[in-house]
Amino acid sequence: MATTEPTIPTPERLAAGATVHVGSETAREWWRDAVIYQVYPRSFADGNGDGIGDIPGITARLDHLQTLGVDAVWLSPFYRSPQNDAGYDVADYRDVDPLFGTLADFDAMLAGAHARGMRVVVDLVPNHTSDQHVWFQAALASAPGSPERARYIFRDGRGPGGDEPPNNWQSIFGGPAWTRLEASSTADGDAYDEPSPQWYLHLFDSTQPDLDWNHPEVRTEFTDVLRFWLDKGVDGFRVDVAHGLVKADGLPDWHGHVSMVDGGTSDEADPGAPEDGSTGAGNQGPMFDQDGVHEIYRTWHDVLAEYDGDRCLVAEAWVEPLSRLARYVRPDEMHQAFNFSFLTTGWDAAALRRVVAASYEANDEVGAPTTWVLSNHDVVRHVTRLGLPDVGVRPNGVFATDPQPDEELGLRRGRAATLLMLGLPGSAYLYQGEELGLPEHTTMPNDVRQDPAHFRTEGAEAGRDGCRVPLPWAADAEGFGFGPSGEPWLPQPDSYARYAADVQYGVEGSTFELYRAALATRRAEGLGHGSLTWLAAFEDSADVVAFRNGDVVVLANLGTAPVALPDGATALLASGPVDGELPADTTVWLRA
Burial track 534-550 (b if 16+ CB lie within 10 A, e otherwise): bbeebeebebbbbbbbb
The one catalytic residue in 156, 182, 224, 306 is 306
Residue whose C-alpha is closest to residue 67's, from 530, 501, 552, 528: 501
Peptide bond into 271 cis (omega under 30): no
CA 570 to chain centre: 35
Residue whose C-alpha is closest to residue 345's, from 383, 306, 393: 393
Question: In a 3-state reduction of DSSP, which class is residue 65?
Answer: helix
508 is catalytic: no
Give the Cα separation of 57 and 479 in Å (integer). 14
Q: What is the DSSP string of 403-445?
A: PPP-HHHHHHHHHHHHHHHHTSSSEEEEETTGGGTPPP--S--
240 is catalytic: yes
Q: What share of the chain is helix, strand, coil (3-state, %, to 5)?
A: 30, 15, 55
Burial track 409-434 (b if 16+ CB lie within 10 A, e otherwise): bbbbbbbbbbbbbbbbbbbbbbbbbb
Contacts for 278 with CB less than 8 Å, ≥ 6 apart: 4, 5, 6, 7, 320, 321
Assess contact for 519 and 69: CB atoms under 8 A: yes
Region of residue 211 (phi > 0: left; psi between -120 and 50: alpha; otherwise: beta)? beta
Q: Cα-flanking dihedrals φ and ψ of residue 304, to 5°?
A: -65, -30
Q: For residue 152, give the DSSP letter.
A: B
The one catalytic residue in 240, 320, 434, 585 is 240
Burial track 312-350 (b if 16+ CB lie within 10 A, e otherwise): bbbbbbbbbbbbbbbbbbbeebbbbbbbbbbbbbbbbbe
Give the Cα separation of 2 and 393 in Å (integer). 6
Longest dimension (CA), the chain: 83
Give the Cα separation of 436 and 427 in Å (integer). 20
Contacts for 557 with CB less than 8 Å, ≥ 6 apart: 416, 543, 544, 563, 582, 583, 584, 585, 586, 587
Question: In a 3-state reduction of DSSP, which class is residue 36?
Answer: strand
Assess contact for 401 and 9: CB atoms under 8 A: no
* Residues marked as catalytic: 240, 306
